[in-house]
């Protein structure tokens, strides 16, 4: 979690601030004050009082709190920042496209299964391989499976 106290007009400072959360571990080595094999004592900044406090936890409690900061596979800490942030994306992206002289793509058209097979394997799945006649698409099975099992 990133704590943003107040907005800054200095974009260089903003990037440096966010970079600390992207590239560094959740707690710095310098914040760890003492470890005796049973307890961990560390220093942290209390943002409400703007003072440094010390806290002591057992090793297992400390690891449990630290694990909350480990992201799941394929998750990233910060997805969108600045122009791509969810709050301002719909307002700022058209302005950015206009400024760059680009046009926004209306909607992404996903390729179909048959077009992927044709482009990658040079085989049309809608042509029956034994007699070379065209097949007619009647239904898609994954929709039925989705309704039955999910």
From residue 62, alpha-carbon distances to 34, 51, 85, 94, 117 in Å are: 12, 21, 32, 46, 51
Residue 71 confidence (pLDDT): 72
CB 126 within 8 A of CB 114: yes
Q: Smallest Cα–Cα separation from 76: which of 9, 21, 36, 129?
A: 21
- First and final CA of the chain: distance in angstroms? 32
Q: Which residue has the tokens 């698409």?
A: 137
Give Cα 68 distance to the centre of its chain.
16
Q: Could you read off the pLDDT tens digit of each residue along the chain, which spans 150 residues?
A: 445 556 577 777 776 766 666 666 677 788 889 988 899 999 988 888 989 999 999 989 988 888 877 777 777 666 667 778 888 888 888 888 888 888 777 666 778 878 888 888 888 888 887 888 888 777 666 555 555 555
């Amino acid at each position: 979690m990133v704590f943003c106290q107040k907005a800054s007009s200095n974009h260089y400072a903003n990037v440096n601030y966010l970079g600390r959360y992207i590239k560094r571990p959740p707690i710095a080595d310098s914040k760890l004050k003492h470890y005796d094999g049973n307890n961990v004592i560390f220093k942290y900044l209390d943002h409400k009082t703007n003072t440094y406090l010390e806290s002591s936890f057992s090793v297992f409690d400390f690891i449990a709190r630290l694990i909350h900061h480990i992201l799941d596979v394929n998750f990233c800490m910060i997805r969108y920042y600045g122009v791509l942030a969810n709050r301002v994306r719909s307002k700022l992206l058209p302005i950015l496209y206009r400024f760059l002289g680009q046009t926004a793509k209306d909607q992404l058209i996903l390729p179909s299964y048959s077009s992927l097979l044709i482009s990658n394997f040079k085989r049309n799945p809608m042509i029956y391989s034994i007699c070379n006649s065209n097949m007619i698409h009647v239904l898609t099975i994954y929709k039925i499976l989705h309704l039955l099992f999910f």
